């Protein structure tokens, strides 16, 4: 009897990475961080809070991770 299974939809139905890159680039620019798709590729597979924590530190963004994500 199967008791559990893992189901990963990311990239199965649509390729969502280009949308994520676009939104993250726009969000970064809004907060004064010039982040490119190439820069963002190193964060693929990471959670948004972890990614924005690193970007925030590297670019000296004074806003909290929650404020960035809410944007």
39-71 per-position pLDDT tens digit? 999 998 899 999 999 999 999 999 999 999 999
Residue 62 CB neighbours (<10 A): 8
Residue 37 CB neighbours (<10 A): 13
Cα–Cα distance, 69 to 71 (Å, whole number):
5
Burial group, residue 6, by CB count within 10 angstroms (0-12, 13-18, 19+) = exposed
pLDDT band at 38 (very low <50, low <70, confident <90, very high): very high
pLDDT band at 7 (very low <50, low <70, confident <90, very high): confident
């Amino acid at each position: 009897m199967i008791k559990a299974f893992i189901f990963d939809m990311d990239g199965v139905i649509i390729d969502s990475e280009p949308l994520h890159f676009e939104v993250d680039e726009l969000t970064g620019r809004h907060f004064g961080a010039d982040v490119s798709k190439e820069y963002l590729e190193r964060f693929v597979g990471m959670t948004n809070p972890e990614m924005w924590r690193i970007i925030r530190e590297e670019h000296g963004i004074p806003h909290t991770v929650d404020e960035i994500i809410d944007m």
